[in-house]
Amino acid sequence: MGAEIRTARAGPSGEKIRSDLEVRYEPGTGVLGLELTSKVGYLYGEAIEAAVRRVAGSLGVETGLLAVEDFGALEWVILARVETCLGRAGFDGPPVLPEPGPGADAPRNRRRLRRSRLYIPGNQPKLMLSAGLYGADGIILDLEDSVPPAEKDAARILVRNALVAMDWGSSERMVRVNQGRVGVADLESIAPHNVHTVLLPKVERADEVVRVASLLRELAGEDAPFLMPILESPLGIRNAHEIAAADELVVALTLGLEDLSAELGAPRTAEGWESFLARQTTVYAARAAGVQPIASVFSGIRDEAGLEAYVRRERSLGFDGIGCIHPGQIPVVHRAMAPTRAELEKALAVVRAAREARERGLGAVAVGSKMVDPPVVAQAERTVELAAAAGMLTGEE
Q: What residues make up the domain containing 162?
A: 116-337
Look up the CATH number of the domain holding residue 127: 3.20.20.60
pLDDT at residue number 360: 77
Cα distance between residue 377 and residue 85, in whole Å: 55
Look at strands 252-255 and 226-231 and give their pairing: parallel
Contacts of 336 (CB under 8 A, 6+ apart): 307, 308, 311, 312, 315
Tell me the percentage of the chain whose pLDDT exceeds 90: 78
pLDDT recorded at residue 393: 86
Are 288 and 378 in a shared domain?
no
Pairwise CA distance, residues 288 & 285, whole Å? 5
Are 165 and 310 part of one and the same domain? yes
Q: How far apart are CA 24 and CA 40, in angstroms?
A: 19
The pLDDT assigned to 313 comes to: 96
What type of residue is 99? E
385 and 354 in a common domain? yes
In this structure, the answer to whether residues 246 and 142 fall within a common structural domain is yes
* Domain-located, residue 3: no
- Of 337, 355, 375, which one is at a domain's C-terminal end? 337
Residue with more model confidence, 376 or 31 = 31
Q: Report the alpha-carbon angle 172-103-165, nearest 5.
A: 100
Whether residue 257 sits in one domain with residue 225: yes
pLDDT surpassing 50 at residue 248: yes
Q: Is the same domain home to 176 and 284? A: yes
Assess if residue 143 is contained within a domain.
Answer: yes
Per the CB < 8 A criterion, the answer to whether 233 and 204 are in contact is yes
Indicate the residue among 74, 89, 104 that finishes a domain: 89
Bridge partners, 48 (sequence order): none
Band (pLDDT 50/70/90 cuts) for residue 1 is very low
Q: Average model confidence (pLDDT) for the chain?
A: 93
Whole-prediction pTM: 0.92
Q: Are residues 349 and 226 in the same domain?
A: no
Residue 363 has pLDDT above 70, yes or no: no
Whether residues 330 and 368 share a domain: the answer is no
236 vs 242: CA distance, rounded Å: 10
Indicate the number of domains in the chain: 3
What is the average pLDDT across 74-82? 98
Percent of the chain whose pLDDT exceeds 70: 97
The yes-or-no verdict on residue 195 having pLDDT over 90 is yes
DSSP 335-361: HHHSPPHHHHHHHHHHHHHHHHHHHTT
